[in-house]
Amino acid sequence: MLSSTITNANSLTSLSSIAHTTAIFLHQPIDSPLRLFLRRRSNPISAIINPSPSPLAAKQQVYQPFRPPPSPLPPQYRSLDTEGKLNVLSNRLGLWFQYAPLISSLLQEGFTPPTLEEITGISGVQQNTFVVGAQVRESLVQSNDSDPDVIASFDTSGAELLYEIRLLSTEKRVAAAKYIVENRLDSKGAQDLARAIKDFPRRKGDRGWECFDYDSAGDCLAYMYYRLSREYNNSSERRTAALEEALKVVVTEKARNLIVGDLERKGDGKDGVEEETGAGVRVPVVRLKIGEVAEATKVVVMPVCKAGEGEKGVGEAPMEVRSEGDFGVVVAEKGWSRWVVLPGWEPVAGLVKGGGVVVAFKDARVLPWRVNRWYKEEPILVVADRSRKEVVAGDGFYLMGGTVGGGDGGGELKVERGNALTEMGVKESLGTVVLVVRPPKEMEDDQLSDEDWD
């Protein structure tokens, strides 16, 4: 009885303590430390010990190579295991575009291109060609404008051809694929066609551009040949050959008349650049396109000096620049701070032996012919051959110092006509001008829209 009484007394004491604590809590301010402490939720306690990663495992996780997501597999290949996929590729069981997605699938599983080449016999280049070609073909299949017969023409051996048009939008891929089939182009022809279509919008504003139709694949290719012809001298056989190639593929009548007109003017003392820049001009004027240097099979590295540096800058620029070894390492006779890389066009290809120099002008008003609107809007590069200093051609153009016909050669450099120098009695220049280069120009309408990216 006494024990029970003591227990009840203890219980009453505990309840009293709890009530007192509750009363204290209820009378605390909302943001009091006690309320915040009691309100805080306790974190669960876990008995699991997370082992620290071993140094070897951490080292292996430093680099994770990118694995492209596998393309949807054709129904007949979806149930195959890894060995079955390798067997299909090794024995070419199916059409190329059917087993091409297996390559992406195996790469996703951890295989590398060299490993697949060793197992299946398909080189790394072929693997890439098959995968990309299959994706291009699928974009043609999904397009509403594609002709099923055209697509079927690529079923047996069309991976290389479709690979070449990969950079075009879906709309232009359809037109290019149709042109390739109708004209039986090979891989090189398909590559030229794709480049011509891709490059055409960038040439807006160049001579003759408005005569060609961008919606015609043949006209785009013809304009590429027409532009190529303007890089050669009027009497050059290469110029005539380029114009004849343009005439073979041109479609629209307006463009055909332009090409025929240039062919008929052959040998009459005029050239393609003359009509744009003024009578008697004998130097090509070309616009460098975006990516042209990267796509060129041959390039030329030349020293650059500013026009304001005058005759001294031209004289101090390295005379000899050559490439050595298997890697074509560029070596100059002395150090120089400014260089430019140009495609190996015919006018500059011969300057690799020495003597070439590039002069940078702020605008083209320095050129001694009719001033066009673009002269005041963009800088130019003038390529000169310092090994040909003698003024021998009245219709040629020569690089001169700021003071022509005397003085110390100070001041900005100039470009002068040969006949003007002859009248002043000047017999020697700083070099013969062989080419004028205009800068690349981006065109907004040349950009692919989001729906055109595959």
DSSP summary character for residue 293: H
- For residue 389, count CB atoms less than 10 angstroms from its CB and return exposed for 0-12, middle for 13-18, buried for 19 or more: middle
* CA 402 to chain CA mean position, Å: 38
Residues 6+ apart with CB under 8 A from 236: none
User: Looking up tokens 């009027």, which residue turns up?
Assistant: 234
- Report whether 233 contacts 319 (CB < 8 A): no
Give residue 1's pLDDT: 45
In the chain, where are the structural domains located?
Answer: 75-196, 203-265, 299-402+411-437
Burial 210-229 (b: 16+ CB within 10 A, else e): ebbbbebbbbbbbbbbbbbb
Q: How far apart are alpha carbons 396 and 401 in whole angstroms?
A: 17
DSSP summary character for residue 362: S
Give residue 292's pLDDT: 83
DSSP summary character for residue 389: -
Q: How far apart are alpha carbons 194 and 136 in whole angstroms?
A: 13
Q: How far apart are alpha carbons 68 and 404 in whole angstroms?
A: 63
Q: How far apart are alpha carbons 367 and 305 in whole angstroms?
A: 17
* CA 438 to chain CA mean position, Å: 18
- Provide the pairing of β-strand 380-385 with 356-361: antiparallel
Give residue 37's pLDDT: 47
Give residue 258's pLDDT: 92
Task: Identify the three-state secondary structure at position 206.
Answer: coil
Q: What is the mean pLDDT of each run of 10 residues along the chain (454 residues)?
A: 46 48 50 51 49 51 53 74 90 90 89 92 92 93 91 92 93 95 93 93 86 94 90 76 92 93 63 41 76 83 90 87 83 87 84 83 77 64 89 82 57 84 86 89 46 36
pTM for this predicted structure: 0.52
- Report whether 399 contacts 293 (CB < 8 A): no
For the domain spanning 75-196, the CATH number is: 1.10.10.2830
Give residue 404's pLDDT: 57
- Report whether 433 contacts 382 (CB < 8 A): yes
Q: Please spell the DSSP secondary structure of 294-336, one letter per residue.
A: HH-SSEEEEEEEEGGGHHHHHHHS-S-EEEETTTTEEEESS--
Alpha-helical runs (H) found in 154-291? 159-164, 170-183, 187-199, 217-229, 237-249, 253-264, 274-277
Give residue 450's pLDDT: 38
- Report whether 395 contacts 345 (CB < 8 A): no
What are the Cα distances from residue 50, in Å, to 44, 56, 58, 60, 61?
Answer: 15, 17, 15, 19, 18
